[in-house]
Amino acid sequence: MPLTRRTFLTTSIAAAAGAQAALAALHQPQKPQPAPGSAPEPAAAVPKAEKPLKVLFLGGTVFLGPHTVDRLIARGHTVTLFNRGKSFPELFPQLEKLRGDRGTAGKTKSERDFKSLEAEIAKGRKWDAVIDTCAYVPKYMRASTALLKDAASHYVMVASVNAYKSEAEPNQDESAPTWDTWPEEAGVDEKTYGPMKRGCEVALSELMPGRWASVRPSLIVGPRDWSSRFSYWPLRAMRGGEVLSPVGPEEPCAFVDARDVAGLLVNMVEKKAVGPVNALGTPGMVFGTTLAEVLAAAKAAGAPPSSLTWVPLSFINANSVQAWSDLPAWVPSADPEYAGFASRSGMRSIELGATFRSVKETSADILKWWATLPEARRARPRPGLSAEREAELLGKWHESRQ
């Protein structure tokens, strides 16, 4: 089935839902689990900021959150976490933690609980900046921003490239058209995800004009990614053998390491950046080179020999292979709807000091992190083609070539 914007978003959201299910499975009360993850960069390798800041972090314990908190700490900033305390509450025991819920994505009924924040603000508490990795629902965004607008000097949220209306035009920057309508409160699904991310940006800009910024990342990947979307490729390489690969070695791809997004978020806070900033990884990255580097990284980690078999888009569509879910982290550049998916401009992020590590480093670190997970989770990698389905498709492909 050919990819459409709706199916692309559906598989993205389904992967996120799977990630939450995996987290829930690891947090059964009777069997608490450690929070596996890559070690932060050594503090000595990260220079201290010229001016230490007081930062309130909404979230902070899942995927992008810990990477960003690690970076803030290394830079010498004072961090306060505000979250529900349900996902990896054992992380960062040295930090101040305020418990509450700014509103739960995916539900139409608000579960807001700002009592701890309200109590601190009533005492006259103020922060230099807020970092928000949990902005999904505009109504909840308005509520939290209304509470914090006089208690924080600057506010940075994580949005998405799905805030843009179209992926059809290559090389667009942050001025490209965005969604102009959205539900203020609704379940997050394939129709609402991108528009509601944009709605959160608008809510923030209206309540804190001139004091807000947002990061619009492409697919965020790396250690601690419970959705395993990009992780399919290094994990597939570890199985060895013949790897079914889409289209050809020049097929483009767009993703960004969570640790690089974390570095950009901290830069934006320190520089008081204003407005949206794309985060898309290294300019000029191509999928074929990327996969070759993924295989090289896996081989360096002990993977058996493997080879790439490129199959054309016509074969992929004829066999109902779904881009982004069956073949993760890829959308067909030949599809006019996605001609610009992997080529949106990231120059503003670079001007703000963003750096992007190689896919080889990202892949190697994913494999190290994966090895720390419980056996039950490692036995259920997702998404991507199963070994049986991949073998069936490769057989069909070779038979068609005879």
Q: What pLDDT is attached to residue 36?
A: 46
Please state the length of the chain.
402
Q: What pLDDT is attached to residue 27?
A: 36
Of 186-190, 221-225, 254-258, the one with minimum mean pLDDT is 186-190
Task: Supply the range of the domain harboring residue 138.
Answer: 5-400
Q: What pLDDT is attached to residue 105?
A: 56
Q: Which residue has the tokens 């992190």?
A: 369
Distance, first Cα to last Cα, the chain: 25
Amino acid 245 reads S
CATH number, domain with residue 176: 3.40.50.720
- Residue 21 half-sphere exposure toward CB, CA atoms < 13 A: 12
Structurally, the chain folds into a number of domains equal to 1
pTM assigned to the model: 0.90
For the chain, helix, strand, coil in percent to 5 are 40, 15, 45
Mean per-residue pLDDT over the chain, rounded: 86
Check pLDDT > 70 for residue 283.
Answer: no
Which residues, including other chains, have CB under 8 Å from residue 36's CB and lie 6 or more apart?
224, 369, 372, 373
pLDDT, one tens digit per residue, over 305-341 is: 888 899 999 999 999 999 999 999 888 988 999 888 8
